[in-house]
Amino acid sequence: MRDERFRDPVQAIILLITGLIFLMGGGVLIFTPLSWMADFMQSAHPRRFVELWPTSPLFSYTIRSMGGFTAWIGVTFLIAARDPSRYKWWVFASGIFLILLAVLCAASGYLYHLPFTIYLGDAVFSAIGGILLLISRPWQRPDSENKTPD
């Protein structure tokens, strides 16, 4: 009898890579001092962010909360990567939500007149991850309980 966890290696790899990137991104948002973030943004876009970087405690709380949520998404992706067929409907929903996140990132960046380089990475990465998860069609995979042993 073969191990059913490894029958969807493409989904597992997509979830593993996506989970690690979300986990690392969340860690950066949680542990990087806000002054370093401001310095990075000002050096990357000196004309846009010299006066625009907020320093309020609410902004700090929002950044840290987003980092915690992003890290939690990464952890759940890593859990699903262990057995994508077991979490097939969750994988499908994740693909849909990643595409919606891409649209939200692109729309909010455009509406707030942010430089294209700021929101391009989030939007493109989310769209690619979502499309790859949906292309693998997890909802058409047979359940592991219904399979007969080889």
Residue 150 lies in a domain: no
Residue 36 lies in a domain: yes
Residue 101 lies in a domain: yes
Which residues are within 8 A (CB) of 79 and not within 5 positions of it... i.e. 6 or more apart? 87
Number of H helices, E strands in the chain: 5, 0
**Contact predicate 71/30, CB 8 Å:** yes
What digits encode the pLDDT tens for the residues 64-86?
A: 887 888 888 888 889 888 888 78
Residue 149 lies in a domain: no
Q: pTM for the full model?
A: 0.66
Domain count along the chain: 1
Tell me how far CA of residue 58 lies from CA of 72, 105, 114, 144, in angstroms. 21, 21, 21, 47
Residue 18 lies in a domain: yes
Rounded to an integer, the average pLDDT of 15-40 is 87
What does the pLDDT read at residue 82?
87
> What are the backbone dihedrals phi and psi of residue 113, each rounded to the nearest 5 degrees, phi first?
55, 40
When the pLDDT of each residue in the chain is averaged and rounded to a whole number, the result is 76
Residue 92 lies in a domain: yes
Whether the CA torsion 35, 36, 38, 42 is positive or negative: it is positive
Residue 122: give the domain boundaries.
Answer: 4-48+56-142
